[in-house]
Homo-oligomer: A and B are copies of this chain.
Amino acid sequence: MSKKINLREQKKLEYRQKILSAAVHEFKERGFLNTSVSNIMQKADLGVGTFYNYFGSKEEVLMNLVKNLFAEVEEKIQAQAKLKISSIELLESCCMHTAEIIDENKFVLPLLSSAAEHSDKPEQSPKNLSPGFKEIFGKIISFGQERGQIRRDIPTDLISEMFHSIYQAAAFSKLKISFKENVRLKVKILLDGIALKNPQA
């Protein structure tokens, strides 16, 4: 009995994963908007109807992917935060870890900024997840501001937004350098722009 259930559950998980993978593949290949549920399920080698046993809509799939991404990012950052380094150094290191994770999932980024436009169901918009992104960096920044390592004449949110936009821009860059290098250099500028050279005692 329990075996039976396990088998089923396992199959379910497997299918769910199959759909997610197919979705990622299609999103990467055709972009979110040009991907239809039918596309995804064809790739997944499953019936269209099956999709709706797992997700309510294409948007929901995306949200899932984004959520996972954020979870991963956050985890990495938590680990970094334990090290005894300056906020500036922490930000730099976090940025690079984040870049690494996003590098593998760049297709979600265009959506963070544009999906809102497409949907009649704003409550499902991935944009709602984006704050999570900024909050993480926001904490580090405001801590740095408190400790006098980061300038205080610019609102924390705004700085946070700049970090965020670096990923966006890098994801779409047509420059020849890699995503990660792109991020690295921009982060360098940004950190130079916000760091206080003579930290207050």
Contact = CB atoms under 8 A, between A and B. Distances in A.
B154 A189 contact: yes
B173 A161 contact: yes
Nearest to A163: B169
Contact of A193 (B155, B172, B173, B190): B190
A22 B88 CA distance: 48
Interface in A161-201: 161-162, 164-166, 168-169, 172-175, 177, 182, 185-186, 188-194
A117 interface: yes
Nearest to A190: B193
For chain A, give the interface size range: 35 or more
A169 B114 CA distance: 11
A148 interface: no
A191 B191 CA distance: 12
B189 A159 contact: yes
A175 B154 contact: no
Interface stretch (A9-17, A28-36, A77-85): A28-36
List of 6 A-B pairs having minimum Cβ-Cβ separation, nearest first? A193-B193, A31-B117, A165-B169, A114-B114, A189-B193, A192-B193
Interface of A: 31-34, 110, 113-114, 116-118, 120, 131, 154-155, 157-159, 161-162, 164-166, 168-169, 172-175, 177, 182, 185-186, 188-194
